[in-house]
Each structure stands twice: as C-alpha cells, then as structure tokens.
A and B are shown apart, each in its own frame.
Chain A
Amino acid sequence: MGAAAIRLGVDIGGTFTDVVLEDGGGARVSAKVLTTLAAPEDAILEGIREVCRKADVAPGAIGQIIHGTTLATNALIERRGAKTALVTTKGFRDVIEMRTESRFEQYDLDLTLPEPLLPRNRRYVVTERVEATGRVLVPLDRAEVEALAEDLKAAEYDSVAIGLLHSYVNDAHEKAIRDVLAARLPGVALSLSSEVSPQMREYERFNTTIANAYIKPLMASYLGRLRERLAAEGVAAPVFLMHSGGGIISLETAAEFPVRLVESGPAGGAVFAADIAARHGLDKVLSFDMGGTTAKICLIRGRTPKTARVFEVARSYRFKKGSGMPISIPVIDMVEIGAGGGSLARVDAMRQIRVGPESAGSVPGPASYGRGGERPAVTDADLVLGKLDADNFAGGSIALYPDRAERALATALGEPLGMDPVEAAYGLAEVVDENMANAARVHAVENGEDISTYTMIAFGGAAPLHAARLCEKLGIARCLVPQGAGVGSAIGFLRAPFAFEANRTMLTRMSAFDGAAIAALFRDMAAEATAFVRSCDAAAPIRCDHKVYMRYRGQGWEIPVALCEADARAPEGATLLALFEREYSALFGRSVDGAEAEITVFSVNATTPAAKVRPAAAVPAGARVAPTGSRALFDAALGAPAEAALYPREDFGPGAFADGPALLTEAETTIVVPASRRAVALADGSIDVALKDTRR
C-alpha cells in the first residue's frame, strides 16, 4: 500500500464517533468524540485532529481512511430519506405493504404493523410481465413509461426505485425503464432491483431496492461533503467504506449502493474479533459484543465471520423477528438481542424475571446512576453483585449509588418474588446471561456448530462483566478480552480487505446441470465483483471465493456450499452434490434419500488478501500479580458470594496471571474472573480468561 502506511479507521455510531490512527508499525492512538448528527463530518474532523495531535502526524500524512457508519441504518429507522418513488409490475403495487401477510406477534389484538418505506401514492405500476423462466410474457410499452416519467417529474422525486417481477432472471425491462427515466429525469437517483439485489423473492428484493433508493441522495451528499471537508483540512487520503459484509468498497460504489453500508459498524466489530482470532491462531471464535442496549453475537470460522444474504433492520416491536424490514444484501450473520447494561428488568404474570429489550438509555440510566431511574437495569445487578466498583465506574466519571440499585431491585423483583436484593440481582443477571447464551446456542445450532468447542472474544463496555458467566453456561473453556475493546469496530475497519460480493438467483436442478453455463455465470459474476474491488486498489492481487446455495428440490431453505477454484472453473454435478450432502448431513444429521437437489443462488466474493496478521508472541512465563485489595463478588456458578481479589489491568505484563475470583479493572470496563477461571495477560495485552485446569 506504500503511502498508506498511516491509516485511519472512522466509525460513526449513534452516540460516539470513534477515530483510530495506526501507523505501519502497528502503533495506535484513538479518539472518542460525540457524534454530530446534523453534520456527521464535524465529529470526524474533530476526531482526526485529536488523533493527529496525539500521534504527532500531519493530516496530509494520512494515507488511507476506512469509514463505517450507522447513518444509513438511522436514516431507515427514522425515515429521514429522500422523496422516493417505486416503479413496479402492474398488479404488484402493494408487495412491500402486504409483506408476508402474517403477524409477528400472535396474541396481541392491538398489534400495529410497521409502515412501508414508501406510501401507496408513491408506488407506480407499468404494464409488463416476465415469466419465472425469464421469457417475456407482456412486452414493456415505452410510451407508457414516457408518460410515467412526466408524472414522476411533475411530482419532483429525488430518487426512483425500479423493481419488476422476475428481474433477477431477466433485467431487460428494468434497464429499459432506467434508460427512459435517466433521459427525462436528469439528476434523479435511480436504483434497479436487478443490480441492488438480484435474488428471488419479490418482497425482500423490492424492499432492499427501495431502501437503497431512499437513502441514496442523503448518503451521496454526505460522502461528497466529507470528501470536501477532508480536502480543506489537508487530508488528501482516499476514503473507502466498510460494508455490511465485512469488506471495504470505494466511495463511488458506496454512493451507488448505500444500502450495503447498513450495519457496517457491527461488521467492523466482527472483523476486529476475526483479526484477534487470527493473531492467536484460533479457528473457531464466538465474538461477543455487549454495549448499553444490545448484545451482538457472531460466529467466526478460520478468521472469517459467517455471512448471510438477508437480514432485518428497524425492528419495531421488541426486536421481534418480522417486525422490521428485510434487506437482502451480503451481511455478516449476527444475532442482536436487547441485552445491554441499560436493559431493564421486571416480573411478569408468571413470576418470571424478564430483562430487556426496554433500556434505561443514558437518561435516566440505571437506578444506580442516581439520575431518576427507578427500575433495575443490568448495571444495577452488576453493581450489587460486586462486579462494579461504585466509586470507580467509567474511570470514576460516573458515581454509582448502590443503595438506589438495591432499592430498585427490591421493589421490582425482590418483593414480588420473596428475594433479598442480592438474590434478585443474581436472578436478574442469570436471566440476561441466559438470554444471551440461548441466542448464541440457537445461532450455533442453526449453523451446525458445537459452541463448546469455540473460544469467545469479548468486547464492548459490558461484555467483560458477563463473558465468563456466558462461557460457563456455554461450556466454553476460554475467553479473550482484547485491548482497545472500546473502539473495536474502528480497529476492525483497518483489518478488513477490499471486497465485493455478487449474488445471482438461477434455479438449477441437478438433473439439468449445465457445467458450462454455470462456469460462464461464475466468470461474469467474478468480472463484476473484481471490477468493484479493482476500483479500490489498482495493484493488489484479487481472489474470488465461489459459493452456491443448495437445497433439496421442494425445500425452502438453502444452505451455502463453498467451492474450490477448480470446481468453480469447471463445475461438475456429482462433485457439487457430494459437497452439498456432506454439508446437509453435518447440519441436520442425515441427508434425504431419493430427493433431488438443486442450486438456487450463485455467489462470488472478490477480495484482496486479508490484512497481514501480526501473530501474538508466545506468552512468557510470568508471575502471579499482587492484588491491590479485595471485594465481595457473587459467583453465579457457585450460587454464593466469594471474596474477589482486585487488580488494575495495567499491572498485568505479558504472562502475568491471577486466579479467580478476581476483578481486573480499567477505565472502560471491568473483567470479571469467577472462581472457576484464571486470568493471564498475553503478549499483545489481551487478557485470557480460561478454565483453571486448562493447561496451555
């Protein structure tokens, strides 16, 4: 990368904008500034000035900026997008409003469905029809499209989404409409479903295309402003963007397909964990990121986070599946649940403790903040159980009031359940930990994985408080808490490769397998994906990973099957079938005799080589660290309190260790080491919290 020796990772989150500067030698400084929603570039520049000052480098010396942002997600959630129209096939105006025609909550008579992204009067139809085979059934009428263009012009739309039935097989009509609109509506952004998300299932594809169109003008304008401000500041470095699939794309590609930026922050977190995994030579890693309102869980195999093709944003009903809108783009497969430090607890009709997804936020915050919060939050339980130090929370910047936490726990949980405050806190913590453990367990099962063989990597402010208990529940022997966990996503951006994934639906029965046609499709897709990557880096070698999604004919769920390069170049039916049956058996225990298999989706991911891993040095034999004090810590596995030794994290040089029960404190968080575990500092500063009887 030459001049790119100094690189900058920039993550705009809902509350904070994190900026991380790293030089070629791996030295790193970071800044955390408040996000400026009205003009997000302001916070970035403030952060850049701060890290440049800290690192003593001139802005002009920055070689490359990698940027991720929640702006796209927030614009969708808050409905702050452009005036957007949809043009679709006659007879299908209401696809995004009718959704799956089901209710995401079965027993609520007062259920409110989410509003579609575009109201009905912004959805237009044209006479045309393509069959499932791609054959044109009703040709497009150009005069009708021209008349429609005049209507759209008169209504002054900023952006238009074009989504027609079966356009993933035949995109001719979508392209013809684009040509007419482009000629008659100069300056209006256009998004085609056959380009944004060429996959079968009209609801997902249309919604994704509309989401893209909806945020396109906003993101294009923001990215343009950012580039100008950076230039004015003397930063000449090119800006690249992190996408939801865990790779980096050019600013131009991002402006064309901004929907791919949704969830780029959490994707950075997963890439961060993947890099730590690689440094420590870990093949199977569970990344666990717990903040104030949610926890995110992701599986990482062979330093690559699991990916998926569809996810849901803007869930409107207690994070419930189906209450948001589906976006079908390549995305790192993460489970997000409403469990964070601020998640509130209550007792339901069955006298069961429930925690989250409702959160106390920062105002009023948990009861122990003393800012008017009356209901117990996870942080309150952590305080009462001894995991947190009332006088030294967030580096001493927020005073905690244990009496208020106890009172809230007693009122909300203790009295109805006949528990004292400590038992109530224990119950609360166990329930939230169980919720997270269940989410991880189910996610692992869905991917055919045995979670107990994984190593956890924990980051985010609340994760180190809960990670060890999760490990106990999941039977996981080892958990790493890396350094820099507070700005993990921004660091992750610096570890991501340039990458672009192309997906195409082409239903292919194994009985009608045409190897030459598939090889040609793969070549086309590889050329498309490679071109996007090439626009980011003119010189780097580019590798293409090929995947097919397969199922038995008649099933509705495909499973991914990875192909080696030779199989992608000259695909053979028998080989693919064998690979599929192996994967299927691994997932579900047995393959199905006599059923025919088929391929639904083809996928090519073009990527530059992953950032060079700096392997962590071997851990020297270190000494037991001397504690600076002790405190009562409730040990959930024992169901009883224990006296925990206290240590500042900075006292742990490489190899230094301490046995649980112990608490390692730092400004950002506290690492809880229960009686079952030992904490050892690794060469890169990560703390390894592992079962005591595990010998390395």
Chain B
Amino acid sequence: MTAPGKISTVAQQVIWNRLISVVEEQAQALVRTAFSTSVREAGDLSAGIYNEKGEMLAQAVTGTPGHVNAMAAAVAHFIRRIGRQSMFEGDVYLTNDPWEGTGHLHDITVVTPSFYQGRLIGFFASTAHVVDIGGRGFGADANSVFEEGLYLPIMKFAERGTVDRTLVAIIRGNVREPDQLVGDIYALATCNEIGHRRLVDTLKEFALDDLEAISAFILENSRRATLERIAALPRGRATGAMRIDGYDRPIDISVALAFENDRVTCDFAGTSPVDKKGINVPLVYTKAYACYALKCAIAPEIPNNAASLAPFEITAPPGSILAAERPAPVALRHVIGQMIPDAIFDALDKLLPGRIPAEGAGCLCNFQVSLRPRSDAPAPDAVRAEVLMFNSGGSGARAAQDGMSATAFPSGVMTMPVEATEQAGPIIIWRKELRPDSGGGGTFRGGLGQLMEIGPREGQEFDISAMLDRIHHPARGRHGGADGGATTIALDDGTALRGKGKQFVPPQRRVEMAFPGGAGYGDPAARDPVLVRRDLAHGYISAEVARSTYGLGEAEIADILQEAKRGDLF
C-alpha cells in the first residue's frame, strides 16, 4: 500500500489522464458559452491548469498553437502582479496585455486561483480571441498599440466573488460590441470555474491535499520524454530564411537552429526590425509558433506543459519584428507569427531531411468586413455589422504525400459556415471553392488555395480590412518542387487592392480574392502518373498545367477529361 501523501503508480497514471480531461472540459464549456464567432465557430481559444508555482500542467488541444507558450508563461505574470497574499477564494483576474498575455489586445486571458481546504493550490487560465476591443478595429493600420484598442493590465475582474462594476463599465464604454465582449469574459470565468470544480472532485476522490505530488510526476515524465526525443536527434546546426510581404516593405525572417544534447535552441538574429504598422510580434507569440513547429517535427505526441516546453529555447533580438516591444502595434501579429514555422522548416529540412513539408500558405487568409447602409441609396432594412471570416490556403506538400487543400496550418482554427456568416451580417459570399492550379507542382503537389468572392447585400456598402500575405512572396517549393500560387485581391472591375489594411469597396462592386496554394515537394517529373490523371480529372490542375508541368500528351488529356465527364473514379 502507498504511504500517505504519496500516490501509487497506477493512481498517478489515472490522475494525469483526469487532468487532461478536466482542461478539455474547461475548453468545451468556453466554446459553448462564448459569443465571439472567433471562439465559438473557429475555436480560437485555449484553456489550461497550473500548479501553485504557476507551472502549466496540462493544456486543452484547441485550434491555436499561438496560445501555447504564451498561456504557459501568463500565469507567472499574474502571480507576480497580483501577489499571492492578495489572492482570495472567488477571485477572477484578467488581462489583454499583448506582452504578458497572448500577443495582441484582442486576446483576453482570464486566470482563476484554485483554493482547496482554504489553501491556494493552483490556477486555471483560459484565453479567447474577441471580435472587437475598440480602437481602430481589428486590422493592420495602427501606428502604435494605443490605437489598437482598450488595454486591460493584469487586474482583478472579481474579488471574493464580487465583479468589479467600474471595470465592466469602462470596458462597455470602450468597445463596439459590449454585450459580446462582457459575455465572453463571463464565459472565460465560467469555464475556469468548471475546471476548478472538477479538480476538487478529483482531489477528494484520490484523497489528495494539493497538486504537488502529481505535478512532480507529470513534469518529470514530460521532461524525460522530451529529452529522450532530443537526445535521439542528430547533433547539428542549420539556418533558415524566408522573405514575406509585410505591410509596405518586405519582412525577412532569419533563424538559426541548433540540436544540442539536452535542448533545441532557435534564434531569430538577422530578422527584420519592428515595422511601423500593426504586424509586429511580441516574443511570447514568436515562442509559441516556434515551439509548435519544433514540437510537430520532434515530439508531436508529448503534451504541452511547463517541462515539455522548457527544452525548447527560443530567442529573438529585442527590437526585431519577432520581439517587438511596447508600444509597437501588434494587432495582426498572427500574419507574421504564423509564418515562423515555414522559416524554421527551412532550417529543419537540413537537419532532418525527408521529414519536413514544403512551405504552405502560412498565415490564415482572414478579413474583416464593416458593413453599413449605402450612403447614397440605403435600403430600408440596411444595418451596420462587423463580420470576421477565417479562411485557409493550401498547406505544403509532404515528402510522401500531397499538401492539404484549403486547410489551416500552422493555425488550427475552423472556418465559419457561409450560411452562418450570411445570417450574421448583410454580406453575400458569391464564391468559396478550391483554386485550381494553385498547388505548387512536384512529386507531391502542394495543397490548393481557395477562391472567394464577396459583395454587400442590396442597399449596403462596406470597408474590407484585409490581413493577407504571400502576394509577392508565394510559398517556395522544396527539393525541386514548384512554388505555390500567390495571393491576389482586387475588385471585380480589375481595380487592385492592398493585401493589408482597411479599404473602401464601392456599392455594387465585389471583392475577388485568390488565397495562396502550398508549394510542391520534389521534381514534378517524378510524380506518379496516376496522381496526375486524378488531379486533371478532378480539376485540381488544368489541361495546360498537365501538359507543361507534368508532360501529359494532348490525346491523353482529352481521354482523361472525357472519362471525368462520365463521372468515372480516378
């Protein structure tokens, strides 16, 4: 039998399992009670449990690698700022500090201390991306963080169960959708509360007083597993580099990677300096996506916690765009941040050949539309509305498999159904489908991007805030594979639009967008002819590409198209 205060080996196994279930339940509660479409439809959120020291023990697997390290570090900031002596049962804390939370003002992080038998034993934290936080609105155009919206330093939202009405009044007075935002903060607090209740049940069931023994077990096993993975890597160093569009000048991401005995280091020296516009990235967010890329390649099945993340040491020079400091504008930190994995893959491919995908679309292809009644001829039923859409281009081809079409990577969020979006605001989505010929050719083809076309409902007009990259710098092919298709954005009369920033769309015009495809992997000449035939039959590639890239003859192309028209399977 086990001595008091110590947990049996089997019980340790069970409790760890249980904590993971607790944080999944916490995240699920948030999805079901949140108001912002970004949380409830797209899954842009995270949830986790921490020990009394603020070390993360388990995190729900949600749609956002961007929250991984950021959330892991956040609770330590809360402990430092609030102070343990000022923490009471029934307290709820919050912040949207980009540097102490998860990278921009649109992410609200809520932390709840967990008390058991009158003693502080740990914390629950959760983060959600809200649709509006005031300021200029969600977009790239701000010149400093002060323009990007309301800033909430780490503070108490509730003390001993009583919500701070002054704070709520300030929040309500500063944002465009106050009900939604306050509703989301309540949802965050509720999900932490649900996590706490479940934790108390677990402690009772296993007759534990605190999380000490179980956290030692979790962290020790996670550390050991991660170090085993790192030890199995070939020792070595490599560099990677990638250039992307940026706001009005290109951005270079440079990375130096080293596999050492007990750690992986990743430094971004040589990366472009901070930009004037809101595409800068606080270091927490850089760490999150860098760590995500490394974990995917090195230790994919080891869950995220303080110990499994610790051996990944991520640094970037202060003042670079990947370690932007206050008061740099950071609203669209994801546009650059989500490109980090592709830059790291450039280096990783040299250390782990044959395992690393080609470049893909990278950042999500998002845009926000601000609709209003047409200024010259408003329809009687015209309204104001903010509509945010998450969309994805193609992912890069893998060494033994095509890339994924219209599928987010590295982000894991979901798109919103077209029918739900059109119910949410007076917008018409005329087209949302795969973009032929956008997947870079190769032995394995890049995933296809997508085509979208949007316009206002009758009597409405709108501004579009674009958040697109890869217009001038498409995804680059690997080992002989071709580049993916570049982004395009224009009005239907041919007028070009910019990839980033808020732009007016005249009534009766539509915006046509083509989102980028993933790049190819390996020489297209080596592609399995069966796959080329299928791509042509399905319209993933045109007859022209079948001919020029893959060398199909005219007669064969005609045959395939004929068979495809008959509905044959390929």
B18-26, B255-263, B368-376: which lies at the A interface? B18-26
Decide yes or no whether A494 CB sits under 8 A from chain B. no
The smallest C-beta distance from B128 to any residue of chain A, in angstroms, reads 13
Residue of A nearest to B17 (CB): A434
Q: Which residues of A contact B568 (CB under 8 A)?
A: 121
Is A106 touching B65 in the complex (CB atoms < 8 A)? Answer: yes
Instruction: State the CA gap A166–B420 with chains docked (Å).
Output: 10
Q: Select one of A349, A351, A417, A595 contacting B229, CB under 8 A.
A: A349
Binding stretch for chain A, among B246-254, B295-303, B481-489: B295-303
Contact between B300 and A108 (Cβ–Cβ < 8 Å)? yes
Q: Is B161 an interface residue, CB under 8 A from the partner?
A: no
The residues in A between 349 and 375 inclusive whose CB is less than 8 angstroms from any CB of B are: 349-353
Indicate if the CB atoms of B406 and A595 lie closer than 8 Å. no
CB distance A640 to B1 under 8 Å?
Answer: yes
How distant is the Cα of A91 from the Cα of B539 in the complex, in angstroms? Answer: 14
- Chain B residues whose C-beta falls within 8 Å of the C-beta of A407 in the assembled complex: none
B566 near A154 with CB under 8 A, answer yes
Distance between Cα atoms of A639 and B3 in the complex (Å):
13
A-B Cβ contacts below 8 A, count? 232
Question: Across the two chains, which residue of chain B brings its CB closest to A102?
Answer: B414
Rounded to whole Å, the gap between the CB of B413 and the closest CB of chain A is 6
B41 in contact (CB, < 8 A): yes
> What is the minimal beta-carbon distance from B352 to any residue of chain A, in angstroms?
11
Q: Which residues of A contact B407 (CB under 8 A)?
A: 101-103, 113
- Tell me if A435 is interfacial: C-beta within 8 Å of chain B: yes
Complex-state Cα separation, A606 to B37, whole angstroms: 34
A531 vs B253: C-alpha distance when bound (angstroms): 66
A426 adjacent to B10 (CB under 8 Å): yes
Within 8 Å CB of B357, what residues of A? 109
CB contacts (< 8 Å) of A594 on chain B: these are 179, 182
Q: How far is the CB of B123 from chain A (nearest CB, A)?
A: 19
Q: Which of A119, A122, A137, A587 is the most central at the interface, judged by chain B CB atoms within 10 Å of its CB?
A: A119
Q: Tell me if B9 and A555 are in contact (CB < 8 A).
A: no
Residue A430 is within 8 A (CB to CB) of chain B in the complex: yes
* Contacting residues of chain B (384-415) with chain A, CB-CB under 8 angstroms: 390-392, 398, 400-401, 404-409, 412-415
> Of the 9-residue stretches B95-103, B311-319, B424-432, which lies at the interface with chain A?
B424-432
One digit per residue, 1 when the CB lies within 8 angstroms of any chain B CB and 0 when it does not, for chain A 492-518 equals 000000000000000100000000000
Of B391, B404, B423, chain A has the most CB atoms within 10 Å of the CB of B423
**A441, B195: Cα distance in complex, Å:** 13
Interface size of B in residues (CB-CB distance below 8 Å): 99
Query: CB within 8 Å of B: which of A418-437?
Result: 419, 423, 426-427, 430-431, 434-435
B570 within 8 A of A: yes
Specify the chain A residue showing the minimal Cβ separation from B415. A101
Residues of A within 8 A of B566 (CB): 154-156
For chain A, the count of residues having a C-beta within 8 Å of the partner chain is 78
A693 interface residue (CB < 8 Å to B): no
Q: How far is the CB of B220 from chain A (nearest CB, A)?
A: 10
Evaluate contact between B404 and A588: CB separation under 8 angstroms: no
Whether B40 and A556, one on each chain, are in contact in the complex, defined by CB atoms closer than 8 angstroms, is yes
**A540-555 interface (Cβ within 8 A of B):** 552, 554-555
Flag A122-140 by CB within 8 Å of B: 1 or 0 each: 1000000101100001000
Additional 20 contacts, C-beta under 8 A, given A103-B408, A107-B300: A93-B434, A100-B414, A101-B392, A102-B415, A109-B356, A113-B407, A129-B430, A131-B422, A156-B566, A166-B422, A350-B222, A352-B17, A352-B221, A426-B10, A446-B28, A552-B35, A556-B420, A557-B40, A590-B190, A595-B183
9 contacts between A and B (CB under 8 A): A92-B433, A93-B433, A94-B434, A101-B407, A102-B63, A108-B296, A554-B35, A554-B177, A595-B183
**Which residue numbers of B lie inside 8 Å of A, CB to CB?**
1-2, 8-10, 13-14, 16-18, 21, 24-25, 28-29, 31-37, 40-41, 43, 61, 63, 65, 177, 179-180, 182-183, 186, 190, 193-194, 198, 205, 221-222, 224-225, 228-229, 295-297, 299-303, 355-357, 390-392, 398, 400-401, 404-409, 412-415, 417-420, 422-423, 428-434, 450, 453, 457, 537-540, 564-570
Interface residue ranges, A against B (CB under 8 Å) = 83, 85, 90-95, 97-98, 100-103, 106-113, 119-122, 129, 131-132, 137, 151, 154-157, 165-166, 168, 200-203, 348-353, 417, 419, 423, 426-427, 430-431, 434-435, 438, 441-442, 445-446, 473, 507, 552, 554-557, 587-590, 592, 594-595, 639-640
Top 4 A-B pairs, shortest CB-CB distance: A556-B40, A91-B431, A107-B300, A155-B567
